[in-house]
Amino acid sequence: MSTEPLPASSPFLHVHKFGGSSLADAGRIASAARIAAGSPGAHRVVVVSAMQGVTDALVALATAARAGDDTTPAWTALAERHRATALALAGADPAPLCDRLALESEALRGDLEALARATGDAVVRLSERIWGHGELCSAWLMQAALGGEAAGWTRLDTREVLVVRAADMGAQVDRDASLHRLRAWRTRHASTHIVATGFVARTTDGEATTLGRNGSDHSAALLADLFDAASVTIWTDVDGVLSADPRLVPDAVCLPALSYAEACELAYFGAKVLHPRTLAPLQARGIPLAIRNTLAPARPGTRIDARGEAAASPVKGLSIVDGMAVLELVGSGMTGVPGVAETLFAALHDAGVSVTMISQGSSEHSICCVVREVDAGRGRAAIDAAFAEAIAAGQVEGVRMQDGLCVLAAVGDGMVGVHGVAARLFDGLAQARVNIRAIAQGASERNISVAIAQAHATRALRAAHAAFWLSPQTVSVGVIGPGHVGRALLEQLAEVIPRLRAEAGVDLRLRGLASSRWMRLGDAPMDPASAAAQLDGDGAVPCDLDAFAAHVRASHLPHAMIVDCSASDAVAERYAGWLAAGIHVVTPNKQAGSGDWTRYAAIMAARRAGGSRFLYEATVGAGLPVVLTLRTLLDTGDTLHGIDGMLSGTLAWLFNRYDGREPFSALVREARALGYTEPDPRDDLSGLDVARKLVILAREAGRPLSLADVEVESLVPDALRSVDVDTFLARLDLLDAPMQARLDAARAAGCGLRHIAKLDSEGRATVGVQALPADHACMHTRLTDNLVQFTTARYAENPLVVQGPGAGPEVTAAGVFGDVLTIAQALGAGPRRSP
């Protein structure tokens, strides 16, 4: 390896900084050393943090020393950890390295003893020296792992070089003094490569100090500036800067490139991988920064430079700052009065309260600011004191305080000049039922910040992340009723969910399944293919619809949906409450749409008030777009004159087959054997199911119709209505003579028989068998086809017809699935794009 000394200014010099997680033990340090040694560049500066957990241990030691506690056990453990690491790294001759670390440990022991006796300024000085001990040891360990001075690696204690001074905005580096000291240091150390301590520095008085917690990144940036480096790489335990905190948004993606401006916004709003002060010295000199993963060094990570990179989404990243509060000054006397904001912020400055976000309405009636929750009480008192006279005079009402908040920030250069970015963010939050307490957007348009309830933080972050197509639109799903339709729906979900996630940006997560007796709840997504089979096994509990709904409406997921595939009136009774709580409801269950009118009105009111969706297409025509077609006609201004058609696949099959050659009873038995009828065919022959469908359509058209208002002809003879199923099936031939007589009469008039539901222009609703002419649309359907005719002002002479298969669990499940996807699309699901 070359031992050519570092030039005064080197475009070939690269700075690498390794964080504590990259230096957690001897194995990690060795891996970091291999990365540094194998990286390109003729000259390298490697900046190290303390080993993982060491700084916390040192802070605890300093606290214990100040309290007069015995620090020997903790000091011994720390010294032994460094010594054990040295033995694992140093090879055949560990003594020199162990001796150096022992000297550092003895110096730490002396500082702890001095701190126990110290008073005044000495407490701060000694504490900061103690806190920086970990970096001193890490530098010795890294230098040894790289081969030491024999391999051209010199150790730099940055307390000899970096000079900082106290300022209002924290410790500020004296660049001129630091550059002067660096040049002097380099005249004494002619070496190709350097291992430097992060975090630590010196004051203008020559005392040891630090750059603040997580300050090693800042150290790397400052050294890159002083050394005039070509680039900086921060090695950490994540792949780069992510679009959101992966602990809150598992689908967060690594951003390939950011501009300095984007990175600054994300850093200041809590992106954990970036220290807020790291970027300033790099941006001033135009030095690019890379964030890469020590555990996966082949991955490219995130590059941060002046240009960044255009992305498909205008927003690149989102961050959450927790533990915030709003202080709001309200009063009509503030309007038009100059200096109000100046007085408010001066009061907060004097109280030492930092303001994160500011919002003021154009009416000037109120001004609010978001501050740290721990500072809110102090800030409120300071503002009250500053406006005491105005409050006493009634010009200002005083300060209102609301805690328990957080700030969500959306960041991206692509937001500049792009229409609808704020609308997409606010719509995503609204869909997730997240209320916004305050809004702020800078003139740069790179950041939109909103204050929201802390309890909604995760849900809001996931909803916003999905709203900008940075991750799939996640919907927590619960299915009730694993019967024929429910099981068919689960099979369809199992088949389609992976494709929806990859291609349509929809992440449907089955988190609950319930029958009338049991339910199974899962925090992790359940496999739809096996969920029904597990309902009676271990993990299933007695069904509790309140607990079921609460689980589906998870606080950490943005959207919730319950799919009711039962025929239960008790389940329909819950719809209004679910909708009001922000749970979308999809169902083929006719009970809600055709049941008690008061309940129906309450369900629709809850849907409107809660902003939730209630879709029930499959209640009328299974997979046919019957309700959608009617809704579209009415919404586009058409006037409904009447509805008629065949609304039962079972009865359609019976009358399509019935031509007198076989008794009607034989066809009923055949239909039952084929599974077209309910187990008790009277449920079909009674006409009540068709009547329910007609009521649903009438209500959709704005007619306050109830089931009792429908004139229903039952095909079940009076003598067979109350007998058991077996007796009914044995005596089915009672249906034959009356039906044959009706068929003969219809044919004599040139007609055929069909089972028809009809709603006329006067609102009269009827269900029963009718004789229809040969040219009627219902005379030309296929077997189990449903057919609905809409006669409207636009379609008066030639009614609009919706026709197709209207029975069968697979078709009905497909109709339910269609409603599920309609809701997902309304929530903002879109194509999956890489940011």
Which residues are marked as active site? 693
Contact 454, 487 (CB under 8 A): no
In degrees to the nearest 10, what's the CA dihedral of 759, 764, 768, 769? -80
* Cα of 179 vs its chain's centroid, Å: 46
Residue that the structure tokens 């970027």 belong to? 279
As a whole number of angstroms, the distance between CA 490 and CA 21 comes to: 43
Extract the tokens encoding 126.
């000694």
Structure tokens at 699: 């209500």
CA distance 143 to 135: 12
> Residue 711's CB: how many other CB atoms inside 10 A?
12
Residue 10: closest CA among 178, 228, 182: 228
- CB of 690 within 8 A of CB of 755? yes
Number of other CB atoms surrounding residue 46 within 10 Å: 30
Rounded CA-CA distance 273/610 in Å is 38
φ, ψ of residue 497 in degrees (nearest 5): -50, -50
Picking from 157, 452, 315, 261, the residue whose alpha carbon sits closest to that of residue 274 is 261
Q: State how far the Cα of 401 lies from the Cα of 451, in Å rounded to an integer.
A: 13
Q: In what order do the strands lie in the sheet with 193-197?
A: 153-156, 193-197, 43-48, 13-18, 231-236, 289-293, 302-305, 257-259
- 727: exposed, middle or buried (C-beta count within 10 Å: 0-12, 13-18, 19+)? exposed
- Token pair in block for residue 561: 């949906």
With tokens 């560990």, the residue in question is 94
Query: What CA–CA distance (Å, rounded) separates 14 from 12?
Result: 6
Residues 399 and 77: their CA atoms lie apart, in Å, by 50
Which strands form 172-173's sheet, in the order they lie side by side? 172-173, 163-165, 200-203, 208-210
Distance CA 495, CA 315 (A): 32
Q: SS3 sequence, 761-811? A: CCCCEEEEEEEEECCCHHHHCCCCEEEEEEEECCCCCCCEEEEEECCCHHH
Print burial letters for 558-582: b (CB count within 10 Å at least 16), e (below 16). bbbbbbbbbbbeebbbbbbbbbbbb
**Beta carbons within 10 angstroms of residue 322's beta carbon:** 12
Which residue has tokens 């003893």? 113
* C-alpha distance from residue 683 to each of 686, 696, 714 (Å): 6, 18, 10
Q: Cα 121 to the chain's mean position, in Å?
A: 47
**Alpha helices of 387-470 — where are they, by DSSP H?**
388-392, 421-431, 457-467
Torsion of CA 785, 791, 792, 797, to 10 degrees: 120
Q: Are 85 and 79 in contact (CB under 8 A)?
A: no
Please give the Cα distance from 308 to 506 (Å, whole number).
Answer: 29
